[in-house]
Amino acid sequence: MISRSQLIGQIKQKKSFLCVGLDTDITRIPEFLKSYPDPIFEFNKRIIDATQDLCVSYKPNAAFYESRGVKGLQSLISTWQYLPKDTLNIIDAKRGDIGNTSDMYAKAFFDEDASGMSFDAITITPYMGNDSVTPYLKYDGKWIILLALTSSVGSKDFQYLETEDGHLYETVIKKANTWAGADKLMFVVGATKSTEFTDIRKHAPDNFLLVPGVGAQGGSLEDVCQYGMTKDCGLLVNSSRGIIYASNGEDFADAARAEALKLQQQMQVELEKAGVI
Ligand SMILES: O=c1ccn([C@@H]2O[C@H](COP(=O)(O)O)[C@@H](O)[C@H]2O)c(=O)[nH]1
């Protein structure tokens, strides 16, 4: 479990707001790892060892594990067990369903006794509304991260629809902030949407934003910080493929570390510029 003040403390100490995405694809990991009993876990373990002093968060994406059935679930559980307990460990599951089903999803990812895993935070889709979200809020110390404005091209299909608040993504943020405080609730905002961060901050001055889309998707870290950073930082910037697949040779962990270090160094500059550190 990691509270808002602990998260801010980690950011200041590590001079980083990097979230390393563990989107671990069996077809992209180095060949030599495939002789290990659990190649996906072995890969993640080495990535974690190589990056944990440079990041404040890890984000396994559930799809990469669930797509492998029982084996994948075991890799996810082993990865969760190995994750440092002072980083904010997010399961990127993008769930959303009626209340009693959400209860089960919450158990799956938050209740170690039930499932063998207890992540600090989960990503959720907001469109089924309040009763689809409240089951996760019952867990003390856990975070929910609602999709607000995604990095995808398809974000324009629904998220920009005009509403009384401006756009649908603004209504999502405004409404969800009546359900939980900034100590439990974050929003996903894509790095490819940096100019919208100013509007988003009007509705979410204190919430942390989980920002995917730098690196492989082309978003700019500098722009995200210019429009989205707060006095407490308020940002967790994710990079998955750009870090974990920096090399597919025996040097993959060193190459991942080098990419994470580049991002951490840019983040340090931004934190100093904004007076956070
Ligand atoms: O709007 C969104 C929401 C989630 N994601 C997820 O973040 C990572 C991004 O991976 P990269 O390899 O750094 O592009 C991935 O798990 C996505 O499912 C997103 O990209 N955009």
Q: How many Cα atoms within 13 Å fall on the side-chain side of residue 41?
A: 16
pTM: 0.98
Q: Which residues of 146-175 are buried (b: 16+ CB within 10 A; e: fewer)?
A: bbbbbbeeebeeebbeeeebbbbbbbbbbe
pLDDT for 158 equals 97
Tens-digit pLDDT profile for residues 8-67:
999 999 999 999 999 999 999 999 999 999 999 999 999 999 999 999 999 999 999 999
Residues known to be catalytic: 94
pLDDT for 2 equals 96
Rounded to the nearest whole angstrom, what is the distance from the C-alpha of residue 191 to the centroid of ligand 1? 10
CB 149 within 8 Å of CB 169: yes
pLDDT for 166 equals 95
Average confidence score pLDDT of the chain: 97
Decide whether any atom of ligand 1 lies within 6 Å of the 125 Cβ: no
ipTM for this model: 0.99
Tens-digit pLDDT profile for residues 7-23:
999 999 999 999 999 99
Cβ neighbours of 102 (radius 10 Å) = 20
> What average pLDDT does range 59-82 have in this prediction?
98
pLDDT for 195 equals 87
Decide whether any atom of ligand 1 lies within 6 Å of the 219 Cβ: no
Residue in this structure with the two tokens 């089924």, named with its chain if needed:
128
Decide whether any atom of ligand 1 lies within 6 Å of the 24 Cβ: no
Tens-digit pLDDT profile for residues 188-244:
999 999 889 999 999 999 999 999 999 889 999 999 999 999 999 999 999 999 999
Break the chain down into helix, strand, coil percent, rounded to 5: 50, 20, 35
pLDDT for 194 equals 85
Tens-digit pLDDT profile for residues 150-182:
999 999 999 999 999 999 999 999 999 999 999
Structure tokens at 159: 């998220």
Residue in this structure with the two tokens 């067990």, named with its chain if needed:
81
Which atom from ligand 1 is nearest to the alpha carbon of 214? 13
Rounded to the nearest whole angstrom, what is the distance from the C-alpha of residue 251 to the centroid of ligand 1? 24
1 pLDDT band (50/70/90 cuts)? Answer: confident
Q: How many Cα atoms within 13 Å fall on the side-chain side of residue 180?
A: 27
Domains by residue range for the chain, with CATH? 4-273 (3.20.20.70)
Q: What whole-number distance in Å separates Cα of residue 92 and Cα of residue 236?
A: 13
Decide whether any atom of ligand 1 lies within 6 Å of the 152 Cβ: yes
Residue in this structure with the two tokens 């100019």, named with its chain if needed:
195
> What average pLDDT does range 103-131 have in this prediction?
98
